[in-house]
Structure 1
């Protein structure tokens, strides 16, 4: 059984490894292992995760069973989206997917922003499992972008939103 808790600095190396494994399992077939390794090195390094952990108006959670971290989630109030929170990351190790780990982390994250009226996210259009998860949790497609997360990624994404009211 996993418990969702706030992440700490001591978790970051394990979270970085989790993200690398999950990204390779999910995206190698779409973008190739080299592109995935490049993005995970930039986005999921311990220093990058440490910056997320330190960001004000954010929540960084892990799913921990006492032996290992099976998932992670990160959301923050948006700097540009009025009264909006952005779900930046929600990842579960492949061996623990479809066991409610993502649902539990998401349930925690969506309650962490009492001033937010909406939550927004970006998801790869070919990540059908993630899209299904988000649709099942009340998100709707509101747009798309040619470059997920940053202008240099080259990864297309659907933009999805959910009302938090």
Structure 2
């Protein structure tokens, strides 16, 4: 994962989070938590954390299909 991937990863995580957790905690709460936790700044900070490794899976057209982070 590179810094150029951060906006796409932020969007991917936010959409996935809302889709997964809205039925459990309500759409408003899921959106609020996602908006707080999946900001561009927070995701970019993970790239500089030497205790974490972030990866993306790309489609043939270069768009991001998946994201994983390991600690």
* TM-score by shorter chain over 0.5: yes
Structure-2-length-normalised TM-score: 0.90
Shift, 1:65, TM fit: 1.3
Task: Name the residue aligned to 2:4.
Answer: 10
State the distance in 1 between where 2:60 and 2:31 align: 28
Number of aligned positions between the proteins: 70
Tell me, in whole angstroms, the C-alpha distance in 1 between the residues paired with 2:5 and 2:24: 29
1:34 alignment counterpart? 28
Where structure 2 has 5 or more consecutive residues not aligned to the other structure, the ranges are none
SS of equivalent to 1:72: strand
- How far 1:57 moved relative to its partner? 2.5
The 4+ residue runs of structure 1 with deviation greater than 6 A are none
Report what 2:13 is aligned to.
19
Q: Measure, in 1, the Cα distance between the counterparts of 2:38 and 2:67.
A: 12
CA RMSD of aligned residues (A): 1.0
**Deviation of 1:72 (Å):** 0.4
Q: Determine the C-alpha separation between the residues in 2 that align with 1:34 and 1:57.
A: 32
- 1:58 alignment counterpart: 52
Q: Which residue of 2 aligns with 1:74?
A: 69
Mind listing any 5+ residue stretches in structure 1 that lack a counterpart?
Answer: 1-6, 77-165
Higher relative contact order (CA 8 A, sep 6+): 2
